[in-house]
Amino acid sequence: MLYRQRTLDLPRGELETPVLFPVRNLGKRSSDNTPEYAGTIPEFSAAMINARSIRNRGPMWDRLTDGVSLREEMGVPEDTIVFADSGGFDFSSEEVDTTPVETLDTQRQLDADIYGTVDLPLSRENRDAENERRVNQSTQYALEASDKHDGEGFLLASVHGYDPETVRNNVRYLEKHGDFDGYALGSMVPIRTDYTKVTKLILAARKATDKHLHVYGLGGLVYQPLLLYLGVDSFDSSAFIRSAGNRNYLIPGFGGEELQNIDSLERLPCPCPVCGQRDLEEIRDDRTALTQHNLWALATELRRFRYVAESGRDIEEYLDLRFQGNDVTQRAYETAKQQVRRLA
């Protein structure tokens, strides 16, 4: 088993891992549609933001450079841990309009705790030659950031690879030629339904370094226990927002269920603070409440895994039950189990 617990010493204080960073849409033109959660859900004393989106949002950036703190703008406590991603996912379809130095400057001005380097995500539609260029360019951006980093924030090199060997070699190259606190594995979202491939790429990164490992974009209910089993230290997710937008109700241990398919219950199956005192129709009509419930569902999934690990129970037995009934995820877990046992 590769699951592990560590403590990160960050500018805003200590952060216990493994941890999920809820994605904040701050700076996006769709507005910040993340409900308040800091101070109400103990697991979530952290958040991920898109540094590029905030810098490009003129009025917001003006406020942030004129005395308003990022955490004031977000409406969260000043001790909230913030991971400032470079906004690399935007470059899947747009041209790179920043540099490693400009991104570092933005992350510093935002007073972030964790910095992600500028990167060019891969795509299934990209040709092999283009993907190779993107891998190499992301590596170069990471090294430029390492050269200019002053050591104040926790610097994660964003890593991409279309196969395990590429991921492993990329991490080792960055370890040798740069100075990073850890690595963030990207390009996972476009291939998220290929659980076996994702599992192999994550294991390649995990085997290449003992440093902190973050996985971009895969913090939903189904992936959480798999990531924890594979030794991932942190991950982020906007699934709670997207699911609520689709009126999808997340149920720990099961997955999601569209509310339109639920009509015979007076009360939903979750006793969280959002659902405990409300009936089905109230939740159905309140998108913010549904989003908050979905966050509680993600927290519950994380708590369950931690309980199994910390109580000394057999994690593999728990996961055998957790993935039972879904052939795709079960095969991916079996693949992971075989490789993890060889490493143990």
Q: What is the pLDDT of residues 85-121, one digit of tens each?
A: 998 878 777 788 899 999 999 999 999 999 999 999 9
Report whether the peptide linkage leading into residue 18 is cis, meaning its omega lies within 30 degrees of zero. Answer: yes
| Domain spanning 6-237: CATH 1.20.120.530 | no
**Where does the chain hold its CATH 3.20.20.105 domain(s)?**
6-237
Q: Which amino acid is at 85?
A: D
Length of the chain: 344
pLDDT at 36: 63
Instruction: Provide the sign of the torsion angle of the four alpha carbons 100, 234, 34, 222, taken in this order.
Output: positive
Written as six digits, the tokens of 108 are 């510093």
User: pLDDT by residue (tens digit) across 115-143?
Assistant: 999 999 998 777 788 899 999 999 999 99
Written as six digits, the tokens of 220 are 């939903």
Whole-angstrom distance, CA of residue 146 vs CA of residue 323:
40
Model-wide pTM > 0.85: yes
Q: Which helix (H) or strand (E) holds 291?
A: helix 287-310
* Three-class DSSP category at 16: strand
User: pLDDT by residue (tens digit) across 201-221?
Assistant: 999 999 999 999 999 999 888
CA angle 104, 86, 297 (to 5 degrees): 130
Whole-angstrom distance, CA of residue 187 vs CA of residue 160:
6
